[in-house]
Amino acid sequence: MEFSIEQILHSLRLTSPLLVLIFAAMAVLVADVLLPRAHRWTLALIGMAGIGLALVALYWARPPQPMDTNYLELAFGGTIQAGYLTFLAHNVILATGLFLILISPNYLAGRAVPHGEYYALLLLATLAMMALASSNELLTLFLNIELLSITLYILTGIEKNNLRSSEAGFKYFLLGSFAAAFLLLGIGFVYGATGQTRFDAIGQAIAAGRILNPAYLAIGVGLLMIGLGFKLTLAPFHMYAPDVYEGAPTPIAAAIATGSKVGGFVVFFNLMAIVAGWRDLPQGLWVALYAIVAASMVVGNVGAIVQPNLKRLLAYSSIAHSGYTLVPMVVLLRRPDLLAEARVAVAYYLLAYTLMTLLVFGVATTLGPLGEGRISHYAGLGRRSPALAMIMALALVSLVGVPPTVGFFGKLRLFSVAIEGDHIRLAVLGVLASVASAFYYLRVTVTMYMEEPSPEAGERLIPAEGVNFVILTVGAVGVFVFAVFPWLYLFAA
């Protein structure tokens, strides 16, 4: 393939946010070596500057305005793509990265975590999430997902003298490799069936009916669903999630739950959009995805009910929310004409889900060792730290999906697509699952406001000040702002 200078420059421009992040990660490592006795904020500040520059680069390379939901540009010979969903996902991921770096310094204080590696890996993970969302080719997809996984394996186990952290990292690594095998197998099948690895080329082949063996393609797509389903904690590939979330340092659990999933959702959506163009799509693929989505909503919500640990509860909650987010993609397989609606609905939910989940993780991180453990430790938080309890309650109410929060409008959009696309039963299941979720989310709220603090937690007032408080407040305001002004994020309505 021939590249002209223009093409290379164009490709570099589209990928400039990623390049900036690579340099930022290197800068953190170099600074760590050069300034061995640096203040704990120094490295975080370099990381923040990197993300800030990446945001600038993102806007430099932004899609033409006003944005079209079908906008698509390719880079580096079609291996990388920039589209509407990708652009919005990049925004969310960068904001997530910034959030995580901001809440980390206070969390890491007094823990045996090497700061340089931590921030560098966090930046690399952010880069990998973005790259994953940009993938437009099967092998690129695999490379990106591995880059993301490896950084997250290390970050999960980075707390060396904490056995749970190491155990979580190791489990994540073993099961992740297991899942990667299926992903590779799926890539092989799809390549074998279509002779293509680029998404757009596969899409053209499928649409034109140039399929060597429909059964291979169906199995290949099924295996890709499984491989990505592991990243997205879809049932029954979710089982690692509660253990890993519990063991990982809380900001890292937040990254696994939000940013890494955002990248995964985008790829999953792009793949399903391609497969939806298959004129005689095997019924089984739709049934399988339907089953996975329904199972995720049920398992996530049922599993969360008896969790005594907040991070495990959030793991199940994130399983359920993955189910919700995939509802439009199930619909898409039957109704490819709803592509634009489904894309906007998913794009909006990426933000909604990330925002709410980060707020809960953010409060848990701010509370330190007290916040990471049992839910009963939250008893009386309403009095001990009114501001944090308020933010937490707001995020939980939004996770339930109560208006006028982003959680409500996000679910409204997702389930509207299902209803428009004649998947009423799936929508009803989703709504019922949300109703059930009110039980365990509100249980935390009840604990915070209506139960007396346990003796071990004590009556101690927890000051909610500093950076954590400011950024959590900003996020809490966002829960309302993005609910009322969705176009602030979606640009095109």
Partner 1 sequence: MNPQLILLIPVLPLLAFLANGLFGRWLGRAGGWLAVLCMGGSAVIGAVLFIGALGGRIALPVDVTLWQWLAVGDLSVRVGFHVDQLTCLMLFFVTLVSSLVFLYSMGYMEGDPGFNRFFAYMGLFDFSMLVLVLGDSLPVMFVGWEGVGLCSYLLIGYYLALPGAADAGKKAFIVNRIGDFGFLVAMCMLFKATGTLHIQTILGEAAAGANPLLRAGGAFVTALTLMLFLGCTGKSAQIPLFVWLPDAMAGPTPVSALIHAATMVTAGVYLMVRLSALFALAPATMLVVAIVAALTAFVAGSIALTQRDIKKVLAYSTVSQLGYMFLACGVGAFVAGIFHVFTHAFFKGLLFLGAGSVIHSAHHEQDLFNLGGLRRAMPKTAVTFFIACLAIAGIPPLAGFFSKDEILWQTFASGRLGLWVLGVVTALMTAIYSFRAYFLTFEGESRLEKAHGHGHGDAHGHGAVHESPATMTIPLILLAVGAVGAGFLNLPPLFLGGEGKEGVVSTFLEPVLAPAREIIAARAHMAAAGEAVHHGAGLEVGLMLFSIALAVAGLLLARHYALKAWPAAADRAAHRFGSLYQLSYHRWWWDDFYNLAVAGGLRGVARLATWFDRWIIDGILHTIGGLASLGSRALRGLQNGQVQSYALGFLVGVNVVVWLVLWF
Q: By C-beta, is 185 or 201 nearer to partner 1?
A: 185
d(CA 411, CA 321): 10
Binding mask 66-105 for partner 1 (x = CB under 8 A): ----------------------------------------
Q: By C-beta, is 84 or 107 nearer to partner 1?
A: 84
Stretch that binds partner 1, among 43-51, 88-96, 280-288, 351-359 (CB under 8 A): 280-288
Stretch that binds partner 1, among 36-44, 114-122, 147-155, 284-292 (CB under 8 A): 284-292
Could you say which of 182, 324, 441, 489 contacts partner 1 (CB under 8 A)?
Answer: 182
In angstroms, what is the minimal distance from the CB of 218 to partner 1?
5
Q: By C-beta, is 79 or 318 nearer to partner 1?
A: 318
Distances in Å between the alpha carbon of 12 and those of 57, 64, 129, 200? 11, 17, 18, 20
45 binds partner 1 (CB under 8 A): no
Binding mask 155-174 for partner 1 (x = CB under 8 A): ----------------x--x
3-state secondary structure of 114: coil
Return the closest-CA partner of residue 266 out of 405, 420, 413, 80. Answer: 80
For 49, phi then psi, to 5°, come to -60, -40
Q: Are 419 and 431 in contact (CB under 8 A)?
A: no
Q: Which residues, numbered 421-460, are part of the site for partner 1 (CB under 8 A)? A: 436, 439
Q: Quick one: three-class SS letters along 429-471?
A: HHHHHHHHHHHHHHHHHHHHHHCCCCCCCCCCCCCCCHHHHHH
d(CA 86, CA 63): 10
Residues 6+ apart with CB under 8 A from 141: 132, 135, 187, 267
485 binds partner 1 (CB under 8 A): yes
278 binds partner 1 (CB under 8 A): no
60 binds partner 1 (CB under 8 A): no
412 binds partner 1 (CB under 8 A): yes
463 binds partner 1 (CB under 8 A): no
284 binds partner 1 (CB under 8 A): yes
Q: Which residues, numbered 200-239, are part of the site for partner 1 (CB under 8 A)? A: 215, 218-219, 221-223, 225-226, 229-230, 235-237, 239
Tokens for 212, please give them: 């060597």
In angstroms, what is the minimal distance from the CB of 245 to partner 1?
12
242 binds partner 1 (CB under 8 A): yes
Which position has the token pair 């009095």?
A: 383
Q: Are 145 and 183 in contact (CB under 8 A)?
A: yes
In angstroms, what is the minimal distance from the CB of 76 to partner 1?
32
Is the sign of the CA dihedral 356, 268, 224, 302 positive or negative? positive
142 binds partner 1 (CB under 8 A): no
Q: By C-beta, is 59 or 178 nearer to partner 1?
A: 178
d(CA 51, CA 20): 8
Residues 6+ apart with CB under 8 A from 34: none
Could you say which of 35, 163, 305, 474 contacts partner 1 (CB under 8 A)?
Answer: 305
d(CA 493, CA 480): 17
In angstroms, what is the minimal distance from the CB of 464 to partner 1?
15
Which position has the token pair 């939901």?
A: 69
Tally of CB atoms within 10 A around 299: 20
Binding mask 357-396 for partner 1 (x = CB under 8 A): ----------------------------------------
Q: By C-beta, is 124 or 436 nearer to partner 1?
A: 436
Q: Are 344 and 409 in contact (CB under 8 A)?
A: no
Q: By C-beta, is 8 or 215 nearer to partner 1?
A: 215
461 binds partner 1 (CB under 8 A): no
299 binds partner 1 (CB under 8 A): yes
Residues 6+ apart with CB under 8 A from 455: none
d(CA 301, CA 430): 10
Q: Which residues, numbered 306-335, are part of the site for partner 1 (CB under 8 A)? A: 306-307
Q: Are 107 and 251 in contact (CB under 8 A)?
A: yes
Tokens for 434, please give them: 């949300």
Stretch that binds partner 1, among 124-132, 266-274, 286-294, 448-456 (CB under 8 A): 286-294
Interface positions with partner 1 (CB under 8 A): 171, 174-175, 178-179, 182, 215, 218-219, 221-223, 225-226, 229-230, 235-237, 239-240, 242-243, 282-285, 287-288, 291-292, 299, 302-307, 409, 412, 416, 419, 436, 439, 484-485, 487, 493
